[in-house]
Every structure is written in C-alpha cells, then in structure tokens.
Amino acid sequence: MTSRRLFEAAAYALFIALILAAPSVLGEFWLNRIAKYLVFGMLGVAICLSWGYAGILNLGQGLFFGIGAYMMAMSLKLASTTSQQAASDTPIPDFMFWNAEPGADQELCCITKSSFLWIPFQSEWFGLAMAVIAPTLIAAGLGAIVFRKRISGVFISIIMLALVLLVRLLIINNQPLTNGFNGLTDLGSFTVGGLVFDNFSKATYYAVAVALSVSLIGARLLVETRAGLVLQAVRDDANRARYLGFDVPTFQTFFFSVSAAIAGVAGLLYVNVAQFASPTFMDLSFSITMVVWAAVGGRNSLLGACIGAILINMMEAGMSETQALVESWRAIIGVVFIAVVLFLPRGLAGLADDLLNALTRRRAPSPVDIPVTSSRGGA
C-alpha cells in the first residue's frame, strides 16, 4: 500500500510542478490557452468529486460553472472602459442602453426594470465572492431538498439536467438583465492594487494554476477524512450507511456543495481567462462533455479526471486548425467515448493503476498487497 501512496503523491507533485513551471517555457499565447484547459481540469475535479466519490452523476455541473462565470462577468462588465465612459454617475453596461425603458433615468438603479440587481457588482470583490457563494448556496439548498427526499441515481441527473436548461432559458429570456443570448462580452480586467489580471498575463495563469493545485490537493485530502470515507460508504450502499447511524443527506449535501464551489471558482477563472460569459456555458452538451472528460481520465481519480479534461482539450486544440479535422475530431471523440465506457470503465487512471499493480507485483509478489479498487459503474 505504501508504494502506491508514494506513487500517487509523486504523480500529484509532478503534475503541480509541471503546471507551475509552464510559464518559464511557454509564450503568452499558449499560457492563455493552457490556462483555459486548467480551468476545465478544475471542472474534471468537481465532476470526479460528485460522481466518483459521492456517486452523484451531475448532468448539470454547467449550472454552477455558469453562475460563477456570470457573477464574475457582471463585475468585470461594469469595470470595462465602455461601461465606465457612460455619461452617468454609475458605470452602465452598453446593452442596457439598448434595452432601456423609454424615459428611464440613465442610472444603474433604474435604467431597466431589473438593472438595480447590478448595483453591488460595482465592487469586483463582490462579484468574486458571489461567484463562489452563489453556486455553493444553490447546491446546498438543492441538496438539502433532493437528498432529504432520498432521490438518487438517474433522477438527480435528470433534475440537474432540467435545472441547468431552465436557468439557461431564463438568462436568454431576460435580455435587459443579462444581455440574453449574446452573453456578456467586452469585459474589464480584475485589478488588485497595481496588479492587473489581464487575460494574457502571467498573473492570471498563476492564479488559475494555484487554484487548480489547491482544489486538487484539497479535494484529495478531503476524501481521506472521516467524512470522505463515510461519503464513499454512502456511495457504495446508502442504506447500510443509514442503518449505521450516519446522517446520509448531510454528507451528500456537503460534498455536492464543495463540488459546486469548485465549479463556481472554475467559472470565475474562466471569465478572467476567456473574457466573456455566455449562456452556452449552460448548454446540455457542455455539461455532458465535462462528464466525458472525467470518464476518459478516470471517474474515480481526482487527478485522472483533471488530466483527462486537460488532455482532451489539448488534443482538440491541436486538431481544430483545419475545418475537416474539426468535424472528424468530434467523430473521434464519439468513438473514444464509447470505447472508454466499454473497455476502460476506470479511464486512464485505471490503466495507470493496473500498470502500477503489474509492476509492484512483479517486484514483491505478496497477494495481500493487491488493493481492491472499486470499478462500479456510476451510481
């Protein structure tokens, strides 16, 4: 068991060292790209935490990502030059002028019916905080209802799927508040003191890399705590855990909320890196794509899911240079996906695990040492 732990620790350390060392090798164009993939890696971690460890396949993780993104983007929109130049005391996003109520006061309080909701977002720290708080609270509230009612498995997946599509439609439908289908573009940059988190700056890259490292290590340590072990027991047999006296919904809700918080942070970082927020973040296909990343990387391994997300996106970027390859790339992804589910249910991490087992067994052939890894298929 010790050599396995050593190997795992080494893999984490190597990965983190690699992403922190990247800026010394890569130019700013690639840094910006890699930063995006690292953000997707965080989504992989979030999915793995809820799917691999809690047994909750969330088909609406895009909800938390999207809300995080929108909260941050609202602040950055107000910080943009065009909003600041509006001829009024408060900054006003350009699209609100196009949607203004006839004869309304040209201030953030009342230019459109719901524009007052934007007032606190004049502080970028408020936007930053809300990007984490809002998804966490929504997940906690939702979990409190859903898990108390002992809804499980595919029903949670469908509730989340319906919810993310519902919120997406509400955002599209509320043009004066959210700029509808167009999303929020032309954003400013997050600024702390003199440090500007420009999307091509090293500061932004480091922010993303550190956030990913922290959430990766944090999640890995969290699943090893007593609460994490109880959670895995719940995943394997909720009724037995209940009979043993554990308050099952509390554990599920807690980890569901942590997963939502990580997705929210990913959303706010993505806005800083990509400089836009759009309802496409809440498309069904994006939420399912996240699950694909985690499945390819390894649904039971936090690092595996994270690397899966980064790897798939890097390959996609490599192939998306020519039009014909873009389309065939999607077909390849389809095939890869079917193959992974059929032949490699534990993903790349499972493959690494098997290799490691083969290696250690050859050196020390003690049958006691073979760990029993769970290869359960989801719920």
Partner 1 sequence: MIDTLFTGLSLGSILLIVALGLAITYGAMGVINMAHGDLVMVGAYTTVMSGIWLHLGFFAAMPVAFVVTALIGLAIERLIVRHLYGRLLDTLLATWGVAILLQQAVRLEFGAAFFHRHIEGLGTGLQKVSVPEWMQGTVSLAGADVNLYRTMIIVVALLLTALTWVLMYRTPVGMQLRAIMRNPQMAAACGIDVDRMNALAFAYGSGLAGVAGVLMSGFKTVFPDMGTPLVVDGFLVVVVGGVGSLAGTLAASGLLGQINGVVAAASNDILARAVIFAVVIGIIVFKPSGLFSYKGR
Positions that interact with partner 1 (CB under 8 A): 57, 145-146, 149, 151, 153-155, 157-159, 161-163, 165-166, 169-170, 172-173, 284-285, 288, 291-292, 295, 324, 327-328, 330-331, 333-338, 341-342, 345, 377-379
Report the residue number, 150 or 240, with the smaller CB distance to partner 1.
Answer: 150
Report the residue number, 214 or 284, with the smaller CB distance to partner 1.
Answer: 284
Q: What is the nearest approach in angstroms of partner 1 to the Cβ of residue 168?
A: 9
Q: What is the nearest approach in angstroms of partner 1 to the Cβ of residue 166?
A: 4
Distance from the first to the final alpha carbon of the chain: 27
Report the residue number, 291 or 303, with the smaller CB distance to partner 1.
Answer: 291
Q: What is the nearest approach in angstroms of partner 1 to the Cβ of residue 63?
A: 12
Cα–Cα distance measured from residue 290 to residue 304, given in angstroms and rounded to the nearest whole number? 13
Report the residue number, 110 or 166, with the smaller CB distance to partner 1.
Answer: 166
- What are the start-end ranges of the H helices in the chain? 2-21, 28-48, 61-79, 81-84, 94-98, 124-148, 154-173, 175-178, 202-222, 226-236, 238-243, 248-274, 284-297, 302-319, 323-343, 347-363
Cα–Cα distance measured from residue 256 to residue 151, given in angstroms and rounded to the nearest whole number? 14
Report the residue number, 165 or 312, with the smaller CB distance to partner 1.
Answer: 165
Report the residue number, 88 or 173, with the smaller CB distance to partner 1.
Answer: 173
Q: What is the nearest approach in angstroms of partner 1 to the Cβ of residue 54?
A: 13
Q: What is the nearest approach in angstroms of partner 1 to the Cβ of residue 107?
A: 28
Q: What is the nearest approach in angstroms of partner 1 to the Cβ of residue 230?
A: 22
Q: Shortest CA distance to 69 belongs to which of 168, 159, 216?
A: 168
Report the residue number, 215 or 278, with the smaller CB distance to partner 1.
Answer: 278
Q: What number of other Cβ atoms are within 10 A of residue 328's Cβ?
A: 12
Q: What is the nearest approach in angstroms of partner 1 to the Cβ of residue 132?
A: 24
Q: What is the nearest approach in angstroms of partner 1 to the Cβ of residue 323?
A: 10
- Find residue 191's DSSP bridge partners: 196
- Label residue 227 exposed, middle or buried (CB < 10 Å: 0-12, 13-18, 19+): middle
Instruction: Give the pair of three-digit tokens for residue 32.
Output: 């910006």
- Find residue 196's DSSP bridge partners: 191
Report the residue number, 317 or 325, with the smaller CB distance to partner 1.
Answer: 325
Q: What is the nearest approach in angstroms of partner 1 to the Cβ of residue 169?
A: 4
Cα–Cα distance measured from residue 44 to residue 61, given in angstroms and rounded to the nearest whole number? 10
Half-sphere exposure of residue 229: CA atoms within 13 angstroms, side-chain side: 3
Q: What is the nearest approach in angstroms of partner 1 to the Cβ of residue 170?
A: 6
Q: Shortest CA distance to 80 belongs to which of 38, 127, 117, 35?
A: 127
Cα–Cα distance measured from residue 242 to residue 253, given in angstroms and rounded to the nearest whole number? 15
Buried b vs exposed e over 35-74: b needs ≥16 C-beta within 10 Å?
Answer: bbbbbbbbbbbbbbbbbbbbbbbbbbbbbbbbbbbbbbbb
| Residue 308 backbone zone (phi > 0: left; psi -120 to 50: alpha; other: beta) | alpha
Report the residue number, 23 or 345, with the smaller CB distance to partner 1.
Answer: 345
Report the residue number, 77 or 168, with the smaller CB distance to partner 1.
Answer: 168
Helical packing angle, 284-297 and 302-319, nearest 10°: 120
